[in-house]
Amino acid sequence: MPDCIFCKIVAGQIPAKLVYQDEQVLAFHDISPGAPVHVLIVPRRHIESLAALTEEDAAVMGHLLAAAEPVAQLAGVAASGYRVVFNVGRDAGIAVYHLHAHLLGGRKLSWPPG
Ligand code: 5GP
Ligand code: ZN
């Protein structure tokens, strides 16, 4: 998708600090971390949002969620715990329209989120 910042990261056109990659997903450190560990997990294929998911995306989404634990292990928070969050829409503060999971950890996380 032209002009999509995460598609450019997937294509290697914009640098990112990679944590994990496989044939379907990429995980990299958030440029503006909200916790000591803040990693974004994105599908390589452009999907606009959680709100745009279809049945055809089920396999890649399952794969993305299954990647969270290995990503947490690589980022050093699997034992201490972590949170996986998808933002949708204005009230959640969505900024990038390429589907991404935030994996946050490395400190005690308050609940509910602010
Ligand atoms: P959203 O609010 O859309 O759920 O989150 C988008 C996230 O992407 C934000 O946490 C923001 O800091 C991060 N981000 C935006 N642009 C870049 C970038 O160019 N590189 C990286 N690594 N993260 C980015
Ligand atoms: Zn994209």
Mean per-residue pLDDT of the chain:
97
- Atom index in ligand 1 nearest the CA of residue 93 equals 2
Query: What's the fold here for domain 5-105?
Result: HIT family, subunit A (3.30.428)
Interior angle at CA 103, CA 18 and CA 99, nearest 5: 80
List pLDDT tens digits, range 61-71: 999 999 999 99
Whole-number Å distance between alpha carbons of 92 and 69: 24
> Could you report the per-residue pLDDT of 45-63, keeping only the tens digit for each?
999 999 999 999 999 999 9
pTM of the model: 0.98
Ligand positioned closest to the Cα atom of 100: 1
Does the Cβ of 79 fall within 6 Å of ligand 1? no
| Residue 100 bears catalytic tag | yes
Residue where the block lists tokens 């993305």 = 64
- Report residue 101 as tokens: 């999971």
Instruction: Give me the phi and psi of 87, to 5 degrees please.
Output: -95, 140
pLDDT digits (tens, 9 = 90+) for 16-27: 999 999 999 999
Contact (Cβ atoms closer than 8 angstroms) between residue 29 and residue 38: yes
Query: What are the residue ranges spanned by the domains of the chain?
Result: 5-105
20 lines ligand 1 (CB under 6 A): no
C-alpha dist (Å) from residue 80 to 23, 105, 108 = 28, 8, 9
